[in-house]
Structure 1
Amino acid sequence: MPDDLRSLAAHVTPGMRIALPVDYAGVSMAMTKPLIAHGAGDLDLVCVPTGGLQVDQLIGAGLVRSVETSAMSLGEAGGAPRFNQAVKDGAIRLKDATCPAIHAGLLAAQKGSPFVPMRGLIGTDVLRHRDDWRVIDNPFAEDGDPIVLIPAIKPDLAIFHAPMADLQGNVWIGRRRELAAMAYASTVTLVTVERIVEGSLLADEVTAAGTLPALYVSAIALAPKGAWPYGLWGEYAPDTAEMLRYAKAARSAEGFADYMASQQTEALQ
């Protein structure tokens, strides 16, 4: 049987490193309010590879210590207001990255390697601001040949939303391989889904290739429309009007608080 959202949120403890997906890959917005209500803070968020509404709301709630990301945006609704303000105020630590670098760090963790080498960062401003990345000479080159070492990204926890899971705990993620990368690298993976289906997703030739095995899934909760106001591929479109409403409200701390309170009230009605 699936868990409930509060049970999933209870897995989070202060100081955890949490991987969250890009807006089009299946963000579990259904988990945002339970995480805020749970209140575990000093979180280090890893955006895979960019962040948006969920990250902004967790920052606005005061739960975030650092954010590692290659971008932060609300898409058509513009910038992420609580993130922008927190960076200006020095309230969070920003670990600026690139999409390939974040994926490389997750790959290193998946492979059990302490790092993965990358070449494309040489000469960039991003590299200058990451003291945890290292530049060495390629040991296989006869002359100087600098290469960057990206340390493994090992999240304590990954959270995402998917269309469906089966009763054995297998989760269908389709082509969203970044979700698999998050799960492979993380110690615990929490998934919310639109529905639970009979039979085995791994036994069906149609769904098997896009299924994350239960081996990599720690807990599942049923949450219809769980990505809203984001859309979910193959299920429903994003609610742009709601994204714009949030972006306008969250320009101030007071507006953010009022918006989140209104969402809680609407959920209870």
Structure 2
Amino acid sequence: MIAPLSEAIDKLVPDGTSLLAVGGMHMHNNPMELVRELVRRPRHIVRLLTSPSGCMAADLLIGAGIVDEVATSYIGFEHLGLAPCYRRRAESNELRVLELCEGAIGHGLYAGASGLPFVPLPSGLDLADNGRANQESYKTVINPYTGEPVVVVPAIRPDVALLHAQSADEQGNAIFSRAHFTDRLMAMAARRVILQVERLAEPHEVAGAAAGCVLPGFLVSAVVVAPGGCLPTASHGHYSYDEEGLREYIELSRTEEGFEHYLRIKGLASVEVAV
């Protein structure tokens, strides 16, 4: 269950992965150490799924050129602006974007976790423009009970999910110190889960954290211990985001040349950026 970083990526994220999910929300709990290792040891990812609000973890993978398409509601850095690699590659048509509303991501993961083929969206979400922009994901069917039209979205079942929790025991039972966003749904829907943690927890800590232990170990394929592994994003209850580090990334990544420079200065220079 406990695995070295490189081994977890090599064994559990195969080349040609159809759907990779990356957890965290905004500038919080991004599994950055897992993502950095995936950039160092690149393999082709057909589709990337973000949480309803993706951030640096998704943008770094997109910038590395290993992702063909992304399913997302938003990728950005809150008050610091949109994600530069995502924006640049989407605007140049190098990246296919499947636009999903936040409800479609949450409900799609719920369907995937529940073994359902698709799921209806709550009334009102059909008024959004997403269905016109992404007809692949949004369909209208007739409610067999009322005869009324209802918008449905397909189940989302990631091949692999990269997630961060504050701690976990050796069996993978994970403790989230604060919010777990859509990470639990990602884990329940995914075929394999690599969990990054700040530290290993003792069994009595897990037993005493009934409210915080929301991810049982049988869902986890590997645990990677990576103190500070979310930086420059935040890890709830351990450290806040490093705004200076985030600004450095955003500024350099506005151009392809700047992004390649960022990879070099951050120890990712051995990677040849795909184009």
Could you state the TM-score of these two structures normalised by the residue count of structure 1? Answer: 0.92
Report if the CA contact (8 A) 2:39-2:268 is conserved. Answer: no
Query: CA–CA distance in 2 between the matches of 1:259 and 1:185?
Result: 33
Q: 1:130 aligns with which of 128, 134, 152?
A: 134
Q: 1:241 aligns with which of 240, 244, 247?
A: 244
| Structure 2 residue identity aligned to 1:3 | A
1:2-50, Cα deviation, whole Å (9 max, x unpaired)? 2111112112123321111223552110112210121111331111112
Q: How does 1:99-110 map to 2 (within 5 A)?
A: 99-110=102-113
| Aligned residues with identical type, % of pairs | 32
SS of the residue corresponding to residue 210 of structure 1 reads coil
SS of the residue corresponding to residue 182 of structure 2 reads helix
Report if the CA contact (8 A) 2:119-2:152 is conserved. Answer: yes
1:167-202, Cα deviation, whole Å (9 max, x unpaired)? 222111244152111100000010111101222444
Report if the CA contact (8 A) 1:18-1:155 is conserved. Answer: yes
2:257 counterpart residue number: 254
1:129-155, Cα deviation, whole Å (9 max, x unpaired)? 22222101221115xx22111100000
Report if the CA contact (8 A) 1:165-1:201 is conserved. Answer: no
Report if the CA contact (8 A) 1:156-1:186 is conserved. Answer: yes
2:160 counterpart residue number: 157
Q: Does 1:186 align with 2:187?
A: no
Query: CA–CA distance in 2 between the matches of 1:120 and 1:85?
Result: 32
Query: CA–CA distance in 1 between the matches of 2:192 and 2:164?
Result: 15
Report if the CA contact (8 A) 2:20-2:45 is conserved. Answer: no
Q: Does 1:35 align with 2:41?
A: no
Unpaired runs of at least 5, structure 1: none
SS of the residue corresponding to residue 153 of structure 1 reads coil
Unpaired runs of at least 5, structure 2: 270-275
Query: CA–CA distance in 2 between the matches of 1:23 and 1:121?
Result: 22
| Structure 1 residue identity aligned to 2:142 | D
CA RMSD of aligned residues (A): 1.7
Q: Does 1:115 align with 2:118?
A: yes
Query: CA–CA distance in 1 between the matches of 2:108 and 2:185?
Result: 10
Could you state the TM-score of these two structures normalised by the residue count of structure 2? Answer: 0.90
Report if the CA contact (8 A) 2:30-2:55 is conserved. Answer: no
